[in-house]
Each structure stands twice: as structure tokens, then as C-alpha cells.
């Protein structure tokens, strides 16, 4: 590495630190302050560290609302992803393996799902008709429907790398189509499945708009809704608001540390495919 | 997941066709090994929860609708939408916001990606730092910057004051609010653009650069003549992804300004939500229809244009 | 609870064989004051009627809460009793189709008549009883600053602006606090001016409802927007008016950072909670108009208690509402949350000691003709975008004339969506 590259690297690091890291440090410092001290919003070292007390206070706020929110968000995320993985992989498999005019239509729907914004009010009406409005179950189906396009594309691309000989061998051995898929293909999809899980869990966990529309009511809060609602509740307690932002930032940070490679793979898959 | 374009688009179909020919006859008798019912689970979920409401919206957009009653009123909602200055402003702002953010993400993303593939010090760490905001909750980012941008007490203006600059009301000045939110959106999204460009750059063979150097091309010429044309698939993705994201954006605006001050940072998605809140379900749905027509009208021709360019090359 | 119930039912059953233990549900908003009110009222009622008990659930406030109430009514899942606004917002619930009429309760005649007209449906039946006290919309002021500068309570708008000029010249305090991060707080100068509008154009509400009068072509009605514009242009607002919150506004006028804060008198509770030591530093006066002789207060009717038409316990509901509309009901409320204003039930007394800011609004109610209801209690039409429009005027984005015209358009949109005749 040349001297020049060191210099540019160090300079870039300094700029990146100011632009991208300092805002998070600001949140962290303010999350550790007293209410009075954080009210001034300045960038200073806390005079008195109240990190733990603030944490406890946020968690206990409104009858442990935050814990309920984490629980709800987890249920929605896990449920939606489980549905998405199985049903999405089946479509990706079919799209890649069986080439007929129908493919174009299915593919068109997949792209529509990626591009078109959901029609929210009619969806609410529909959810009310089938009794799923304001229910976690309804939210799981919604998140699954909205994430399917992305999932199908990833699976289709990955399945193209799995030789057909494998399916054919299984068929000759007398396996039924569903057995071929669930016993032979699905286990081979593990790498892309990890990518789907990681990327979609971040998307669903961070989603604010759809729970706002489809999950009103105190018993159905999700993590992002709680954060938004606490904004008005903690109006004179900025420290708690910042603590809450911090708590919402931590899960993606952990996922990022452990699944960096899968996230990058998932998020850039469009780049080379176009 | 780094699948080079060629392998997937080019070889997979021919491979497929070859082997189906061999198994066609027995497959017919037993039914295909790839039965259509495999679409059913996904198709049912997608059809009920996405497609049906989308189709229904074309009817509901033509009604005056609240929870207690529904009346067919033809195109009145659309007339209303285009007549009301603040609904129109939402439309204009949406276009402005989407073009600013996608242009900035494309340009900055490419420049940062070139920088972060040039073998500088701490390259990997830098990539992670730039990318991390992509994963953070938008609401969290919005609330964080709303505090940082407070006109009198916010850290940004305090920092500016320390070097003698009188900072503006980032979110309270009506002619600035939309741009401040756009800046935060670029801050949040540039990492994804960078990442996509890095993946794209890695597919460009070094031979091109060597050939260019032998021809005596400067670094600048290399960038314009080699990098920019060859990284086009990545550009397509970045432009289209950020346009879709920018046109649909709701959560960041809502967390930072709720469309304010007044209507100055309202975008279509926030207008739709406000009409919903006011109980004007028909009008809200009309806004939704306008939004997806707008997205279709922008994205489809653009995707077609990008694809044609690619084929020409 | 349960044991007590069984016990008391057993006791009662000896005397009145038909009594059964009944539990009613109540949907409250989530403000601590409302919950405390319901707890006090239900406890008092259960003490008299041991076979009736209640369970209270809460809902969020604001438009999210509005939506929730509408949804539950439309789907038949409403609690037996619930709290909701009176006036134009009530009309959106379609009371004549969804709510239980209560004209036949015993204390009906004791309820203030002006109030009753705000809880009646298109069919003329009455659907609610007042759950709180009447509110005024006017201007809170910082008393020590007034004393220091030797200022008088303004009786006209010009006097008010002269006071502001004095504050601006002689101190570095903000003459007027504004808090546009909570956009709803920006509407006060316009809404609280309505007493003055009515003095000039007494039939404005009827004509407005019938689409014959507009804000833009009624000079007296457009004045509220002009006043807001004037105050902005004079530079009287706090520096961070665009980013300040409702709580900031209360703090500023309580501590004297700002000297005036236009607000509804329901802020009494918030002052009490946030600044108990500074309560007596804050006073209140009505928003003055142009006429020295006609000075009065714009009044907001309290939120009311309603019941859905399909409740399973219509008799108990009516009896409970009758209790709320009685002096015993008022006393239970006063004991729970203190005094916030005058009651609308004949025979309800206020305690001798009330906070200064509440005492300041009493004279308006005591004298004939010094109060008038806000427009939303006289007309079912209220545009949903007023708060954004007033933020624009108060931030200098839009002038008063075009704001009045824009608000007329907003109202027209609502009227069309409601399908009102004549629009």
C-alpha cells in the first residue's frame, strides 16, 4: 500500500467518522444523560452516567410496552419469513425449471409486487372483511405478500446454479414432485435462504408504515410504532427518547456484525442482474 | 450471490431446454415434475393481500367512502386531487424528492465505490461504516436528525455557530424542509448505492484499464470511458431502486416533518395518509392510484430505456 | 372486586329479588385526567348501585383514536360507554344511526341548553351528557411580567398588540409563544377569535353550513388569519416557534420566557402537572377583538359520554348518564381532578378555592352575553387541514387572504365527502 493510499484512507475515515458515526455517538451520549441535561441537546459528555437507569425506565414505560412490542415484532418477523421462504422458494423453483408462457405472467406479478406501492385503504377494508384487521396474523400475511417479489427473484437466480441432474435423478428414483423439492432442492438452498432471512428480517423489523395502517391499537404495538409513539410521550425526556432509538438500532447492528456477508449478497443481488 | 449477468441470462435457459427435451415424453404421462400447484401458496397470499386490494382500489378511488357509507362519485376525487393546491404540491414534491435523492445516491454512490475499491487504508471498515445506516430503522434515523436539526438547540446549528455560521431552520424553514429530509434520505441510502456499485465494479476486468493506460488515457478518462459505461447494470439498479424508494417514501417524512411546515414537505404518501386519517377513504385511495400510475409511468419506460442501451452496447 | 360484588349482590337480593350483577365496559381516552374522571364516577355510582360494576379500557388520542372509535362503532364492537368530542366531530359518527338517544333521562332539564345542541343528531335527538367542564379558548399570560411592565389586560386587539410591543421593546422575552411542532396549537388565534366573528356576523354559522358564507368573503371571519399574520410579521414569536412543542409553550409562559400563549383552558391540568410551583404566575384572558364594548370568550363544549345504540344494557347506561349529569357526578369529578372550568349541569357548585387561571375565566361565564361557542359547535363543517394552513400563516409562508380562501376549499372538500346538501 502506497503512502498516498494511507493518506486518502485516513482522510476518508475522518470524514466518514464525522458524517456517519458522530450522529450515533450523539444518540448514545444523550441516552446516558439525565432528562434535564439532555433537554439542551448539545454534544457533551454526560455529567452523570444514567445509562442503566434510563434503560430500565424505557423498558418499564407504559406498562412494559417495549417488551410487548419486541415480542409482537418478533412474532410478525418470524411468521412472515417462514411463509415467505417456503412459498417463495417454490415459485422460484417452478419459474426457473419449467419454462412456459405462464412464466412471463408470473414474472410480471413478481415485478409488480416489487414496484407497486400497496393500496392501503382497500387492504384495510379487505382485512376487515376477513376479520384480520388489527391482528398479528393479518400483519404476517401482509408482510409476506409484500416481501414475496424479492424472495422469488433471489431464489430463482440461485436455483439456476443448481444442476437439473439432481432433480432428474430423484425423479427417476421415484420421488414425487413435492418430495424432490422439499427433500432434495430446499436443503441445497441454505445459503440463499440465510440471505433472505437476514435481509427480510431487517426490512420487516424496521417497517413502520404498514403496522401504522394495519395494526392500530395499544395491544398490537410493534417496535417502530412504540418508538414513534414515545416521541410524543417523552417530549420532556429526550434522554429516554434517545435510549429508545438506541434500543431499536441495536438488533440490526448485531445482525450486521454476524451476517455481513449475507446482507451484502442479498442487497446487491440486483446489481449484476439488472 | 455474485452472479455475473452472462451466466444467468445466457446459459441457464439453453441448459434448461436441452434437458427438458430428453425428459419430455415420460413427464407428460406422469404429469410434470414441476407442477403448477407450486405457485398456489405464494399466489394465494399475494393474490389476496396484494393483488385484490390493488385491483379494488381502482373502484374505491371513484367513491366518496367512509366507514358508514360508500357512494359512487366518478372522477370527482381525481378532480379534487388536481384542483387542491396542497395535494398538487404533494405531487410536485414527490417528483422533486425522488429525483434529487436518486441523482445524489447515484453520483455519490459511484464516487464512493470507486474510492473504496482503490485499495486505500481501512477500506473494509469504511465500507461497513458507510453501509450501516441502511440497516437502521428509518423512524430512529428520522427522530435522531429531527433533534440534530433543531433550529436553536440542535447539534448541527450549535456546531455551525461555533465556527461563526448562523445555521438555518433546517426543518422549520418551508423552502428548506424538503431538502433537509432529502439530505437525510441520501445519508441513509448512499451506503446501499455504494455497495451495489462495488459489486458492479468487481465485474469489470482489469484488462480494460490496462488497455486504456497503454492508449495513454488519464485517470479521469479511464473513469469516464471505462468505468461509467461498464458499470451500467449497477447504475440501472441504483437509479431504479432509489426512484421507487423516493417516490414511495413516507416514514422518514412522517418522522421528521409530517409534511410541514404547512404543506411544504408533503409528498404523495403523506397526503394519502392524511386523507386516510381525515376519514376520506375514497380520496386517499385515489391518491394511491395516482401514486402507482406515477411510479409505473416513470419506472417502466426508464427500465425499458436502460435495457435497450445495454443491448445496443 | 369479585368477592365484594358477590357479597353485595347477596345483600341486595334479599331486598330486591330481580337484581343481577352487571359489568359494563367503558372506552376512555388515554389521558390520565380522563381515566381518573371515569374511575371516580364509576366508584361513586357503584357505591349507590352495588350490583353494577365497570371495566375501563383506554384508546389513543388524536386522529388515531378518532379512527378507532369510528371503526368500533361501525363494526358493532363499541364498549357500553365511551368518551368523544361534541360538535362537528360527533356528526362524523352519524349519531342518529349509531348512538343511543338519551332525551328521556331524569336530569335532562338540568343540562345547559347551548351544550345540548352540540350533542344532537340530524334527527334532533340528544345522544350525550357532558363529561367535563366547559373550556375557553384564549390567551394565557405571565403575570409577573405584566406587573413588572405595568401592563393591563387588553380589551381590544390593538391593546394586545401594544402590550406585545412593550414587551418586545423593554425585555428580551418573546411576546408570544408559538409551538408548531405540535401543529394543532397553531389554530388558536383563528379559532378563539370566533366570539368576535359572531358579534359582527351573528348568522355566520348557519350561512357557513349552507355554503352561503365563506371565510374569504366574510371580513370578520378572515380576521383570525389576519391576526396570526400580523403577530408573525411583527416578529413577536419565540425564536424556535417552528420546532417548539405544546409542552415548550406551556413552559415558556409559566417561566416567563414568553409572556403570552394562546391556548385552550384544558391546559390547566398540564400546568398543574408540569409546573405546580408556577401555577399562580399564569393568568388567562379572552382573545380580544376590535370592539371595546364587545369583549368575550370563545367557548369549547366539553367532550361527552355516549353509548352505542346496540348496547346490551340500555337502562343502566341511561341511569349512569343521569348520574353523570347530576351534582353528585360533578362533585366526583372535582374531587378526582380538581376544577378546570364551569360545569354545564344546573346545581353544580365549584369549590371556593380555584387556581387563578380558572378564576380568570369565570367572569365571562357569569355575565350575560360574554361567551359564545366555537364554530365547530354551531356548524358540522370543519376542514381537516386548518392546522397546516395556520402553520403556514404563522410561519409567513402564506398570507391571511389566501389562507382563508384555501381553508374554504378544505371545508368544501369535507362537505362534499360528507355529502351535505347545498355543496
Is the Cβ–Cβ distance between B139 and B161 less than 8 Å? no
Q: Is residue B6 part of a domain?
A: no
Q: Which whole number is the average pLDDT over A181-186?
A: 91
CA distance readout (Å), C82 to C89, C128, C195, C304, C393 = 14, 10, 30, 8, 36
Asked if this assembly's ipTM is beyond 0.95, the reply is no
Beta-strand pair C174-176/C258-264: parallel
Q: Considering chain A, what percentage of its residues have pLDDT values greater than 90?
A: 40
Please report the pLDDT score of residue B312 as a whole number.
63
pLDDT for residue B9 is more than 60 = no
Q: Is the pLDDT of residue B283 over 70?
A: yes
Whether residue B118 lies inside any domain: the answer is yes
Distance of CA C191 to the CA centre of its chain: 11
Please give, rounded to a whole number of angstroms, the shortest distance from the CA of A86 to a CA of chain C. 35
Judged against a pLDDT cut of 50, whether residue B279 lies above it is answered with yes
Please indicate, yes or no, if residue B215 is contained in any of the structural domains: yes
The widest CA-to-CA distance across chain A, in whole angstroms, is: 74
d(CA C287, CA B56): 49
Where in the sequence is the domain holding B224, given as residue range(s)? Answer: 78-312
pLDDT tens for each residue of A43-77: 778 888 888 989 998 888 877 888 999 999 999 99
* Position B313 pLDDT exceeds 60: no
Residue C152 is predicted with a pLDDT of 93
- Residue linked to cell 396549537: C185
Res C418: pLDDT = 73
Q: Is the pLDDT of residue B141 over 90?
A: yes
Q: Is the pLDDT of residue B5 over 60?
A: no
Closest-approach residue (CA) in chain A for C182: A232
B201 touching chain C per CB within 8 A: no
**B67 in any annotated domain:** no
Chain B contact set for C73 (CB, 8 A): 67
pLDDT value of residue A21: 93
Residue ranges with strand state E in C85-179: 129-130, 135-142, 174-176
How many residues are recorded in chain B?
313
CATH no. for residue B299? 1.10.3720.10
Phi–psi pair at B149, nearest 5 degrees: -95, 10
Which chain A positions have a beta carbon within 8 Å of B250's beta carbon? 209
pLDDT tens digits, one per residue of B117-129: 988 888 889 999 9
A265/B contact by beta carbon, under 8 A: yes
Name every chain A residue with its beta carbon within 8 A of the beta carbon of C58.
218
Residue-wise pLDDT tens digits, A223-263 = 998 888 777 666 667 888 899 999 988 888 888 888 888 88
Show which subunits contact C, needing at least 3 CB pairs below 8 angstroms. Answer: A, B
Q: What is the pLDDT of residue C230?
A: 95
B150 CB within 8 Å of a chain C CB = yes
Tell me the average pLDDT across B42-61: 94
Q: Considering the domain boundaries, does residue B239 fall inside one?
A: yes
Highest mean pLDDT among A216-225, B31-40, B178-187: B178-187
Residue A73 is predicted with a pLDDT of 94
A265 — pLDDT class (breaks 50, 70, 90): confident
Consecutive 10-residue averages of pLDDT for chain C (423 residues): 40 44 87 85 93 85 74 83 90 87 91 88 90 91 95 94 95 94 91 93 91 92 95 94 89 94 88 86 94 90 92 93 93 86 88 87 87 89 88 93 93 81 78
Residue from C245, C252, C270, C271 to probe the interface with A (highest A Cβ count within 10 Å): C245
**Domains in chain B, number:** 1
Residue of C245, C413, C418 to mutate when probing chain B, most B C-beta within 10 A: C413
Is the pLDDT at A167 greater than 60? The verdict is yes
Query: What's the whole-number mean pLDDT along residues A86-94?
Result: 93
Please, are residues C335 and C152 in contact by the beta-carbon 8 Å criterion?
no
Whether the pLDDT of residue A147 is over 80: the answer is: yes
- Rounded Cα distance between C423 and A272, Å, is 56
Q: 3-state secondary structure string, A57-119?
A: HHHHHHHHHHHHHHHHHHHHHHHHHHHHHHHHHHHHHHHHHCCCHHHHHHHHHHHHHHHCCCC
Judge residue C305's burial from the number of C-beta atoms within 10 Å of its C-beta, 0-12 exposed, 13-18 middle, 19 or more buried: buried
Nearest to A216 among C67, C246, C247 (CB): C67
**And the C-alpha cell for A261?**
456477508
Note the pLDDT of residue B93: 95
Q: What is the set of domains in chain C, with CATH numbers?
A: 2-127+303-343 (3.40.190.10), 135-300+358-418 (3.40.190.10)
Domains and CATH numbers, chain A: 62-273 (1.10.3720.10)
- The three three-digit cell numbers of residue A13, written as one number: 475515515
pLDDT, averaged across chain B? 85
- Identify the band that residue B66 occupies on the pLDDT scale cut at 50, 70 and 90: confident
Q: What is the pLDDT of residue C332?
A: 92
For residue A274, pLDDT over 90 is answered with no
B192–A208 C-beta distance less than 8 A: no
Give the closest residue to B257 by CA, choosing from C168, C418, C181. Answer: C181
Confidence of residue B24 (pLDDT cuts 50, 70, 90): very low
Instruction: Quote the pLDDT of residue B23.
Output: 43
Amino acid at each position: 500500500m502506497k503512502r498516498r493510499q494511507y493518506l486518502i484512507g485516513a482522510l476518508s475515515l475522518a470524514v466518514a467518522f464525522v458524517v456517519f458515526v458522530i450522529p450515533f455517538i450523539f444518540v448514545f451520549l444523550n441516552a446516558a444523560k439525565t432528562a434535564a441535561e439532555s433537554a439542551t441537546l448539545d454534544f457533551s459528555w454526560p455529567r452523570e452516567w444514567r445509562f442503566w437507569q434510563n434503560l430500565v425506565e424505557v423498558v418499564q414505560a407504559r406498562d412494559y410496552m417495549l417488551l410487548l412490542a419486541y415480542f409482537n415484532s418478533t412474532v410478525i418477523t418470524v411468521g412472515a419469513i417462514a411463509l415467505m421462504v417456503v412459498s417463495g422458494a417454490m415459485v422460484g423453483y417452478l419459474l426457473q425449471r419449467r419454462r412456459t408462457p405462464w412464466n412471463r405472467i408470473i414474472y410480471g406479478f413478481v415485478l409488480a409486487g416489487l414496484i407497486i406501492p400497496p393500496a392501503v385503504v382497500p387492504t384495510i377494508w379487505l382485512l376487515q372483511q376477513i376479520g384480520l384487521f388489527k391482528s398479528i396474523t393479518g400483519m404476517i400475511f401482509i408482510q409476506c405478500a409484500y416481501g414475496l417479489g424479492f424472495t422469488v427473484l433471489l431464489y430463482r437466480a440461485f436455483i439456476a446454479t443448481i444442476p437439473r441432474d439432481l432433480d432428474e435423478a430423484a425423479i427417476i428414483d421415484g420421488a414425487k414432485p413435492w418430495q424432490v423439492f422439499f427433500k432434495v432442492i430446499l436443503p441445497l438452498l441454505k445459503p440463499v435462504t440465510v440471505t433472505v432471512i437476514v435481509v427480510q428480517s431487517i426490512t420487516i423489523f424496521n417497517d413502520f408504515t404498514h403496522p401504522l395502517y394495519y395494526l392500530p391499537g395499544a395491544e398490537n404495538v410493534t417496535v417502530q410504532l412504540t418508538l414513534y409513539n414515545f416521541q410524543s410521550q417523552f417530549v420532556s425526556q429526550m434522554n429516554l427518547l434517545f435510549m429508545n432509538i438506541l434500543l431499536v438500532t441495536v438488533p440490526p447492528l448485531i445482525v450486521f456484525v454476524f451476517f455481513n456477508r449475507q446482507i451484502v449478497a442479498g442487497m446487491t443481488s440486483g446489481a449484476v442482474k439488472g | 450471490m455474485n452472479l455475473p449477468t452472462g451466466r444467468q441470462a445466457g446459459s441457464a435457459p439453453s441448459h434448461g431446454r436441452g434437458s427438458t427435451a430428453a425428459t419430455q415424453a415420460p413427464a407428460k404421462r406422469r404429469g410434470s415434475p414441476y407442477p403448477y400447484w407450486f405457485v398456489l401458496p405464494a399466489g394465494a397470499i399475494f393474490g389476496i393481500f396484494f393483488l385484490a386490494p390493488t385491483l379494488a382500489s381502482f373502484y374505491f378511488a371513484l367513491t366518496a367512502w367512509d366507514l358508514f357509507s360508500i357512494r359512487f362519485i366518478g372522477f370527482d376525487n381525481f378532480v379534487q386531487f388536481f384542483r387542491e393546491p396542497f395535494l398538487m404540491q404533494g405531487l410536485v414534491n414527490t417528483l422533486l424528492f425522488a429525483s434529487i435523492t436518486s441523482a445524489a445516491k447515484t453520483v455519490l454512490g459511484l464516487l464512493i465505490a470507486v474510492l473504496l475499491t482503490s485499495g486505500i487504508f481501512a477500506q473494509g471498515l469504511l465500507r461497513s461504516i458507510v453501509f450501516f445506516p441502511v440497516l437502521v430503522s428509518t423512524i430512529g434515523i428520522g427522530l435522531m436528525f429531527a433533534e440534530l436539526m433543531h433550529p436553536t438547540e440542535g447539534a448541527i446549528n450549535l456546531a455551525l455557530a461555533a465556527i461563526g455560521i448562523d445555521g438555518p431552520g433546517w426543518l422549520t424553514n418551508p423552502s428548506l424542509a424538503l431538502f433537509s429530509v432529502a439530505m437525510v434520505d441520501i445519508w441513509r441510502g448512499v451506503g446501499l448505492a455504494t455497495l451495489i456499485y462495488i459489486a458492479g465494479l468487481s465485474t469489470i476486468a482489469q484488462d480494460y484499464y490496462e488497455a486504456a493506460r497503454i492508449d495513454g488515457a488519464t485517470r479521469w478518462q479511464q473513469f469516464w470511458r471505462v468505468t461509467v459505461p461498464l458499470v451500467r447494470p449497477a447504475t440501472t439498479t441504483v437509479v431504479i431502486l432509489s426512484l421507487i424508494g423516493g417516490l414511495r417514501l413516507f416514514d422518514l417524512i412522517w418522522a421528521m416533518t409530517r409534511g410541514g411546515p404547512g404543506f411544504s414537505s408533503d409528498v404523495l404518501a403523506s397526503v394519502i395518509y392524511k386523507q386516510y386519517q381525515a376519514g376520506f377513504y375514497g380520496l386517499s385511495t385515489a391518491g394511491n392510484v395516482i401514486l402507482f400510475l406515477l411510479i409505473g409511468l416513470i419506472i417502466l419506460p426508464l427500465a425499458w430505456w436502460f435495457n435497450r442501451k445495454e443491448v445496443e452496447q | 372486586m369479585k368477592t365484594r360484588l358477590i357479597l353485595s349482590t347477596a345483600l341486595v337480593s334479599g331486598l330486591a329479588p330481580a337484581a343481577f350483577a352487571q359489568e359494563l365496559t367503558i372506552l376512555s381516552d388515554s389521558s390520565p385526567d380522563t381515566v381518573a374522571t371515569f374511575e371516580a364516577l364509576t366508584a361513586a355510582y357503584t357505591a349507590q348501585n352495588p350490583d353494577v360494576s365497570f371495566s375501563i379500557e383506554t384508546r389513543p388520542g388524536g386522529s388515531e383514536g378518532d379512527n378507532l372509535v369510528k371503526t368500533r362503532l361501525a363494526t358493532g364492537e363499541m364498549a357500553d360507554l365511551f368518551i368523544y368530542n361534541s360538535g362537528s366531530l360527533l356528526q362524523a359518527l352519524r349519531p342518529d344511526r349509531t348512538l343511543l338517544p338519551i332525551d328521556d333521562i331524569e336530569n335532562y332539564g338540568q343540562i345547559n341548553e347551548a351544550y345540548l345542541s352540540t350533542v344532537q343528531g340530524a334527527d334532533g335527538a340528544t345522544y350525550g351528557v357532558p363529561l367535563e367542564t366547559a373550556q375557553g379558548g384564549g390567551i394565557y399570560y405571565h403575570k409577573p411580567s405584566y406587573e413588572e411592565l405595568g401592563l393591563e389586560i387588553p380589551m381590544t386587539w390593538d391593546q394586545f398588540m401594544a402590550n406585545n410591543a412593550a414587551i418586545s421593546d423593554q425585555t428580551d422575552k418573546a411576546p408570544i409563544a408559538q409551538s408548531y411542532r405540535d401543529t394543532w396549537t397553531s389554530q388558536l388565534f383563528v379559532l378563539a377569535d370566533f366570539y368576535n366573528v359572531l358579534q359582527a356576523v351573528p348568522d355566520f354559522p348557519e350561512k357557513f353550513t349552507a355554503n352561503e358564507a365563506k371565510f374569504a368573503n366574510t371580513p370578520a371571519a378572515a380576521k383570525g388569519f389576519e391576526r396570526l399574520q400580523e403577530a408573525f410579521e411583527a416578529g413577536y414569536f419565540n425564536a424556535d416557534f417552528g420546532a417548539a412543542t405544546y409542552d415548550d409553550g406551556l413552559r415558556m409562559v409559566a417561566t416567563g420566557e414568553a409572556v403570552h400563549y394562546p391556548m385552550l383552558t384544558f391546559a390547566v391540568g398540564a400546568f398543574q402537572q408540569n409546573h405546580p410551583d408556577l401555577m399562580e404566575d399564569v393568568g388567562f384572558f379572552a382573545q380580544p377583538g376590535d370592539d371595546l364594548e364587545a369583549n368575550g370568550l370563545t367557548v369549547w363544549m366539553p367532550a361527552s359520554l355516549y353509548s352505542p345504540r346496540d348496547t346490551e344494557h340500555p337502562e343502566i347506561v341511561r341511569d349512569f348518564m343521569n348520574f353523570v349529569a347530576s351534582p353528585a357526578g360533578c362533585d366526583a369529578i372535582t374531587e378526582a381532578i380538581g376544577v378546570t372550568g364551569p360545569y354545564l349541569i344546573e346545581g353544580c357548585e365549584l369549590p371556593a378555592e380555584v387556581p387563578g387561571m380558572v378564576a380568570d375565566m369565570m367572569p365571562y361565564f357569569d355575565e350575560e352575553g360574554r361567551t359564545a361557542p366555537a364554530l365547530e359547535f354551531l356548524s358540522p363543517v370543519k376542514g381537516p387541514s386548518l392546522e397546516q394552513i395556520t402553520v403556514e400563516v404563522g410561519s409567513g409562508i402564506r398570507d391571511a387572504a389566501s389562507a382563508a380562501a384555501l381553508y374554504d376549499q378544505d371545508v368544501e372538500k369535507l362537505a362534499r365527502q360528507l355529502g351535505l346538501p347545498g355543496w
